[in-house]
Structure 1
Amino acid sequence: MSLHTLPILFFNLGGEMLYILDQRLRAQNIPPKKSVKVMRDIVGQMFDARCVKELFRPQQAFSKKSLRTVFDRLAHASIMKLNTTAMDKLYDLMIMAVKYQILLCRRAEDVILVTLNHLDTIRALVGDSDNHSIMLNSACKTIGNHYGHFSSADLILLRNSLLTVFQDSHKRVSVFLKSNAQQINGRFFISMGGPVPSGFEVPGTIRYYGEDGAKVSEEDFASLALYEAAEEAGSWEIVGNRVITLGTNMYAADSVSESDKESRDEPHDEDTAPQAPKSDGDPVMRAELQLLEKLIMGIREPPSSEDSFRLQLFPDDNEQDRPSKKNKSSVTVVQISPSKKGKDELHKIMQDLTVQDTAQGPYDDDDLLDLMDSVS
Structure 2
Amino acid sequence: MLNEKFLDELFKPQKIYNKDALKNLFHDLAHASIMRLNEASMNKLYDLMTMVFKYQILAAREPRDLILITLNHMDAMRSLVQTSQVQKQLDACYYLVMKMYGQMTDGELQRVRFSILNFFQDIRIRVSIFLRKGVQNNDGSFVIPSDLTISYGNEIPGTTRVYQADGTIVDLLNFPSGGSYSLAPESGSTELRGRRGTDLGVNIYDSGKPVQTDSDGCEDSFDVAGNTGYKDELNVLIAQLRQEQQAETSGEDPSSIIHFNLFPSFDRDSPGSELFDEPTSSSQHSAVLEAIMSEMSLPSESASGGSGGVQSDLIQLLDSIQ
Common topology (TM > 0.5): yes
Aligned counterpart in structure 1 of residue 124 of structure 2, from 170, 183, 187:
170
Of the three residues 99, 104, 111, the one matched with 1:157 is 111
Structure 1 residues 182 and 146: alpha-carbon distance in aligned structure 2, compared to 1, 3 A threshold: same
Percent identity for Structure 1 against Structure 2: 40
Asked if the contact 2:69/2:201 (under 8 Å) is kept, the reply is yes
Identify unmatched segments of 5+ residues in structure 1.
Answer: 1-45, 265-376
For the pair 1:114 / 2:32, whether they are aligned, the reply is: no
Q: In structure 2, what is the Cα distance between the partners aligned to 1:83 and 1:255?
A: 28
> CA separation in 1, counterparts of 2:40 and 2:174?
55
Q: Who is 1:289 aligned against?
A: none
Alignment partner, residue 38 of structure 2? 83
Question: In structure 1, what is the Cα distance between the partners aligned to 2:135 and 2:209?
Answer: 21
| Superposed displacement of residue 190, structure 1 | 1.5
Provide the rounded CA distance (Å) in 2 between the counterparts of 1:232 and 1:47. 31
**What amino acid is the match of 2:93?**
A
Shift of 1:256: 4.2
1:189 Cα deviation from its structure 2 partner:
0.4
- Residue 62, structure 1, aligned to residue 46, structure 2: no
Which of 45, 60, 63 is 1:105 aligned to? 60
- Give, in whole Å, the separation in 1 of the partners of 2:38 and 2:208: 25
Q: Are the counterparts in 2 of residues 201 and 230 from structure 1 also a CA contact under 8 Å? A: no
Q: Distance in 1 between matches of 2:99 and 2:74?
A: 15
Which residue of 168, 175, 189 corresponds with 1:214?
A: 168
Match of 1:92? 47
2:153 & 2:107 partners in 1: Cα distance? 16
Query: Any idea what SS the aligned residue of 1:248 has?
Result: coil
For 2:297, the equivalent position in structure 1 comes to none
Do 1:175 and 1:261's aligned partners in 2 also have CA atoms closer than 8 Å?
A: no
Aligned to 1:171, what secondary structure does the other structure show? coil
CA distance in 1, matches of 2:44, 2:94: 29
C-alpha distance in structure 2 between counterparts of 1:81 and 1:247, whole Å: 25
Name which of 184, 206, 218 aligns with 1:261.
218
Task: Please name the residue that 2:95 is paired with.
Answer: 141
| Aligned equivalent of 1:74 | 29
RMSD of aligned residue pairs (Cα, Å): 1.8
2:114 aligned partner, one-letter code: N
The one-letter code matched in structure 2 to 1:59 is Q
In the alignment, the residues of structure 2 paired with residue 106 and residue 219 of structure 1 have an alpha-carbon distance, to the nearest angstrom, of 25
Residue 240 of structure 1, aligned match among 186, 194, 217 = 194
Structure 1 residues 252 and 193, CA gap change in structure 2 (3 angstroms): closer
Q: Which amino acid aligns with 2:181?
A: Y
Alignment TM-score, normalising by the size of structure 2: 0.64
- CA separation in 1, counterparts of 2:166 and 2:101? 37
Separation in 2 of the partners of 1:202 and 1:255? Answer: 33
Whether contact under 8 Å (1:118, 1:247) holds in the other structure is yes
Conserved 8 A contact 2:212-2:220: no
Asked if the contact 2:211–2:220 (Cα under 8 Å) also holds between the matched residues in 1, the reply is no
Note the alpha carbon deviations across 1:87-119, whole angstroms, 9 max, x for none.
001000000000011110010110110110011
Higher deviation after alignment, 48-57 or 189-198: 189-198
**In structure 2, distance between residues paired with 1:232 and 1:200:** 11
Cα 1:91–1:255 shift into 2, 3 Å? farther
2:66 is paired with a residue of what secondary structure? helix
Q: Which sections of structure 2, spanning at least 5 residues, go unmatched?
A: 222-322
Q: CA deviation at 1:185?
A: 0.8
- Structure having the higher Rg: 2
Task: Measure, in 2, the Cα distance between the counterparts of 1:204 and 1:112.
Answer: 28
In 1, Cα distance between equivalents of 2:101 and 2:54: 20
* Paired position in structure 1 for 2:180: 226
Matched residue count: 218
Separation (CA, whole Å) in 1 of partners of 2:208 and 2:25: 29
SS for the counterpart of 2:9 is: helix
Contact 1:193 1:226 in 2 (8 A): yes
| 2:46 partner letter | Y
